[in-house]
């Protein structure tokens, strides 16, 4: 079925067994001095075992002042080589082509990371950094060029099959290439030829220091998607110069930090959205072209390659969520592939906080050598109450270890709040994860009894040794005059399809749940107003999904009243005060002011002497990733 994906391709004598590559992603898994760690090695080895034909490791820094994050790998001195030499040996055992991406962050860093000001072509700060960068002198530019070459030489000494020059995403090389960030008037600024000089000289310096069979790739943003930045036309003009300088493949990405939503798009963005740009590059070069960008299914990769738009497909976050994606696809086990939902809550959130990344759907990420599931020597009868992500994850993990597990759910559908969270626009892929969990339980022969409410009598009949109480949460009902009116409903009931609304709606609460519910209703062409007491809405969402949500709300003409509180719900509408003082007419009032744990049954069962482990929102109302991790841990340690 995937004849193109699973056909080999050879670059500089190195043969990839398939066309699936791991895209480079910052993990913060290395030591602060740039040396290798077991965490870094085990993380990448898991992907190699999972069948990827190529792994492009992230952001090897060419000099300490080039770091954009604190715990990046580095090859700026020879002392860093031995650790990575052992690393490359581990990866090569699995027949994987291994590429080290090398880079300098330029202005896209900070004093917090570097201990000094970043350096850049021009004194123009990055929107994500508070610090003014220092302009590089020509002497320093020449030095950095040689440092790229030296870094590549060390990568070859360490056993890598090649390097990828990071000329994308607004980092230093990209900064020189774009008039958006380069305002120099010397030989490294101004005209196109001057702006690409830095990149061309880097490639030539690398070529002079590595063997002829060593792969030299190049990553480029086809379009920077900022006013005054490079576009696809500029990129098509630049690529032949890079090819002439000596690169062996071109990796087509997009964006700079100001257009961060193009570098790491959220679930609001369509699949393989950047592939057409790769196709344009493919038309003007004979080099292998890599496409990347929201590709989370090998069948998407197959169509991209079959269309002729790319030779190789890179999967970044998909390799975090399921590092075994290639092997499962090759064996036709598509329903066993756990798909990335582009939520940003584990990977990007941690990245922006300069801590090791996680994946909310993969509790083992970053802990691959520490959390192997061991078979139990004392199988227990485990009753799981609730089929939200925490309960299902606990059931999967416990059953995988040999425990006898049953899951009980009082509702028609599994998934709990996670399923309801998939209802608003742009969030539909969250359902895929619940489907994956149910499929895993089916493989493990774990019964999932739907529309079965657990009572103390049922528990007595089942005689469990342990109970996992994943009973979830219910909406908080605030003490507001008029709250008991029949036209007042919860966001939970609206998204679950339990109630309908009128055409004029006030949503009370502008957190993520309230904002997404408002977007859902406005998408149905209803008039919606959000009331939020804080100074901004959706403050609990991550940067890029929040940008996308706010853009959608604006498109759907949702009125947003911040720094405003609800005083009363009356016949005339909702009376508010603060930044806005008026009565807002409406047919329906939707409450989205938080949730509280459901603990009644768990407390009763504890009093009756049962061993009850409370998990998920029933333990503490939070995000899906926290619930999944809690479910995994209770299943792993029982």
| Inter-residue contact 180 to 224 (CB < 8 Å) | yes
C-alpha 170 chain-centroid distance: 19
In the predicted structure, residue 1 carries a pLDDT above the cut 90 = no
For residue range 161-187, what is the model confidence (pLDDT) as tens digits? 999 999 999 999 999 999 999 999 999
Count: domains in the chain: 3
Please check whether residues 395 and 487 belong to one and the same domain.
Answer: no
Mean pLDDT of 442-459: 97
pLDDT of 584-607, one tens digit each? 999 999 999 999 999 999 999 999
CATH number at residue 417: 3.40.50.720
- What average pLDDT does the segment 450-462 reach? 97
Q: Based on the domain organization, do 386 and 452 belong to the same domain?
A: yes
Across the range 232-259, mean pLDDT stands at 98
Asked whether residue 63 carries a pLDDT value surpassing 90, the answer given is yes
Helix (H) or strand (E) holding 612: strand 612-614
* Residue that wins the pLDDT comparison between 372 and 339: 339
Q: How far apart are CA 393 and CA 399, in angstroms?
A: 10
* In a shared domain, residues 407 and 456: yes
Please, which residues bridge with residue 218 across strands?
165, 250
Examine the domain organization and report whether 424 and 460 are in the same domain. yes
Q: Is residue 375 part of a domain?
A: no
Q: What is the pLDDT of residue 390?
A: 97
| Contact indicator for 587, 576 with CB cutoff of 8 Å | no
Inform me whether the pLDDT recorded for 462 exceeds 90: yes
186 domain-assigned: yes
Q: Does residue 154 sit within a domain?
A: yes
- Same-domain check for residues 426 and 288: no
Two tokens, residue 350 = 């941690």
Task: List the beta strands (DSSP E) in 422-526.
Answer: 448-449, 466-469, 473-475, 488-490, 504-508
* 147 domain-assigned: yes
Q: Are residues 431 and 326 in the same domain?
A: no
CB 106 within 8 A of CB 119: yes
Cα 182 to Cα 218: distance, rounded to the nearest angstrom: 20
Structure tokens at 533: 């007491």
- Taking alpha carbons only, the member of 593, 590, 592, 596 closest to residue 622 is 596
pLDDT at 372: 85
618 contacts 473 by C-beta, under 8 angstroms: yes
Q: Going by DSSP bridges, is the β-strand pair 54-61/97-103 parallel, antiparallel, or unpaired?
A: parallel
The closest of 290, 296, 244 to 270, measured between CA atoms, is: 296
Q: Is the pLDDT of residue 290 over 90?
A: yes
Nearest-CA neighbor of 339 among 314, 360, 318, 365?
318
Tokens of 419: 């399923």
Same domain, 94 and 210: yes
pLDDT tens, position by position, 4-52: 999 999 999 999 999 999 999 999 999 999 999 999 999 999 999 999 9
Distance CA 216, CA 297 (A): 27
The answer to whether position 4 is within a domain reads no
User: What whole-number distance in Å separates Cα of residue 458 and Cα of residue 609?
Assistant: 15
> Are residues 615 and 563 part of one domain?
no
- Rounded to whole angstroms, the Cα distance separating 39 from 29 reads 6
CATH code, 138: 3.20.20.70
- Buried/exposed code over 387-397 (b: 16+ C-beta within 10 A; e: otherwise): bbbbbbbbbbb
Contact predicate 279/310, CB 8 Å = yes
For residue 518 the two structure tokens come to 């408002």
Which tens digit of pLDDT belongs to each residue from 295-349?
A: 999 999 999 999 999 999 999 999 999 999 999 999 999 999 999 999 999 999 9
Q: 63: how many CB neighbours lie within 10 A of its CB?
A: 17
In terms of domains, do 228 and 260 share one? Answer: yes
| HSE-up (13 A, CA, CB side) for residue 14 | 26
Reading phi first (left if > 0) and then psi (alpha if -120 to 50, else beta), residue 331 is in alpha
Strand, helix or coil for residue 164: strand
Range of the domain at 421: 381-474+596-637
| Active-site amino acid positions | 171
What pLDDT score was predicted for residue 598? 96
Same domain assignment for residues 439 and 513: no
User: Other CB atoms closer than 10 Å to residue 376's CB: what's the count?
Assistant: 13
Confidence of residue 637 (pLDDT cuts 50, 70, 90): very high
Whether the pLDDT of residue 55 is over 90: the answer is yes
Q: Which of 497, 513, 508 is nearest to 427 (CA)?
A: 513
- Look at residue 361 and tell me if it is in a domain: no
- Could you give the CA distance from residue 19 to residue 3 in angstroms, rounded to a whole number? 10
Are residue 469 and residue 506 in the same domain, yes or no? Answer: no
40: in domain: yes
**Helix (H, G, I), strand (E, B), or coil: what is residue 298?**
helix
Q: Are residues 468 and 562 in the same domain?
A: no
Mean pLDDT for the chain overall: 97
* Secondary structure, 3-state, 228-283: CCCCHHHHHHHHHHHHHHCCCEEEEECCCHHHHHHHCCCCCCCCCCCHHHHHHHHH
Tell me the CA distances in angstroms from 609 to 406, 408, 505, 587, 634, one per residue in order.
20, 20, 47, 48, 19
- pLDDT, tens digit, for every residue of 73-98? 999 999 999 999 999 999 999 999 99
Which residues have a Cβ under 8 Å from the Cβ of 593 and sit 6 or more positions away?
475, 476, 478, 508, 509, 514
Give me the count of residues in the chain.
638
Strands (DSSP E) found in 69-210: 97-103, 119-120, 134-135, 162-167
DSSP one-letter string for 562-608:
-SEEEEEE-SS-EEEEES--EEE--SEEEE-S-EEE--HHHHHHHHT
Taking residues 265-277, what's their average pLDDT? 97
At 511, is the pLDDT very low, low, confident or very high (cuts 50, 70, 90)?
Answer: very high
Asked whether residue 372 is assigned to any structural domain, the reply reads no
Specify the CATH number for the domain of residue 579: 3.50.50.60
Nearest to 516, CA basis, from 531, 535, 495: 495
């Amino acid at each position: 079925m995937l004849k193109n994906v699973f056909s080999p391709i050879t670059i500089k004598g190195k043969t990839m067994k398939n066309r699936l590559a791991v895209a480079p992603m910052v993990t913060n898994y290395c030591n602060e001095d740039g040396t290798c760690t077991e965490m870094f090695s085990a993380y990448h080895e898991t992907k190699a075992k999972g069948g990827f034909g190529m792994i492009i490791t992230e952001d090897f820094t060419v000099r300490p002042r080039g770091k954009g994050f604190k715990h990046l790998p580095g090859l700026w001195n020879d002392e860093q080589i031995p650790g990575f030499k052992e690393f490359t040996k581990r990866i090569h055992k699995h027949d994987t082509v291994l590429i080290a991406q090398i880079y300098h962050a330029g202005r896209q860093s900070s004093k917090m990371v570097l201990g000094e000001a970043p350096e850049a072509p021009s004194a123009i700060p990055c929107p994500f950094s508070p610090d003014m960068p220092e302009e590089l002198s020509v002497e320093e530019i020449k030095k950095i060029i040689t440092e790229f070459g030296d870094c590549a030489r060390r990568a070859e000494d360490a056993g890598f099959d090649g390097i990828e020059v990071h000329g994308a995403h607004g980092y230093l090389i990209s900064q020189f290439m774009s008039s958006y960030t380069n305002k120099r008037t010397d030989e490294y600024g101004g005209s196109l030829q001057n702006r690409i000089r830095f990149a061309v000289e880097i490639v030539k310096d690398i070529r002079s220091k590595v063997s002829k069979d060593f792969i030299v790739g190049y990553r480029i943003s086809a379009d920077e998607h900022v006013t005054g930045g490079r576009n696809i036309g500029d990129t098509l003009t630049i690529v032949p110069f890079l090819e002439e300088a000596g690169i062996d493949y071109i990796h087509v990405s997009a964006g700079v930090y100001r257009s961060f939503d193009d570098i790491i798009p959220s679930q609001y963005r369509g699949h393989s959205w950047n592939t057409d740009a790769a196709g344009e590059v493919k038309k003007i070069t004979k080099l292998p072209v890599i496409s990347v960008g929201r590709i989370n299914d090998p069948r998407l990769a197959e169509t991209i390659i079959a269309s002729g738009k790319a030779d190789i497909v890179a999967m970044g976050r998909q390799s975090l969520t399921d590092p075994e994606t290639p092997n499962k696809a090759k064996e036709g086990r598509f329903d066993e592939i756990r798909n990335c939902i582009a939520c940003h809550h584990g990977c990007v959130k941690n990245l922006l906080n300069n801590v090791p990344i996680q994946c909310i759907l993969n509790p083992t990420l970053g802990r691959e050598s520490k959390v192997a599931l061991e078979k139990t020597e004392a199988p227990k009868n485990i009753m799981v109450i609730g089929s939200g992500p925490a309960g299902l994850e606990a059931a999967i993990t416990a059953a995988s270890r040999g425990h006898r597990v049953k899951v009980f759910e009082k509702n028609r559908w599994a998934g709990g709040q996670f399923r309801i969270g998939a209802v608003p626009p742009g969030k539909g892929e969250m359902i895929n994860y619940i489907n994956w969990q149910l499929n895993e339980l089916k493989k493990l022969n774990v019964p999932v009894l739907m529309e079965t409410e657990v009572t103390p009598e049922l528990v007595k009949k089942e005689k469990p040794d342990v109970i996992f109480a994943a009973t979830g949460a219910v909406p908080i009902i605030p003490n507001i005059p008029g709250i008991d009116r029949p036209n007042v409903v919860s966001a939970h009931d609206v998204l679950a399809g339990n109630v309908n609304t009128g055409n004029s709606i006030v949503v009370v609460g502008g957190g993520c749940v309230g904002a997404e519910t408002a977007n859902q209703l406005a998408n149905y062409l209803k008039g919606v107003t959000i009331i939020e007491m804080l100074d901004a809405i959706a403050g609990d969402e991550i940067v890029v999904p929040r940008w996308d949500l706010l853009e959608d709300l604006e498109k759907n003409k949702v009125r947003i009243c911040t720094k405003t509180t609800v005083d009363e719900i009356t016949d005339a509408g909702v009376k508010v005060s603060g930044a806005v003082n008026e009565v807002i007419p409406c047919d329906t009032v939707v409450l989205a002011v938080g949730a509280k744990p459901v603990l009644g049954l768990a407390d009763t069962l504890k009093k009756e002497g049962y061993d009850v482990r409370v998990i998920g929102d029933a333990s503490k109302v939070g995000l899906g990733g926290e619930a999944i991790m809690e479910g995994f841990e209770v299943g792993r340690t029982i």
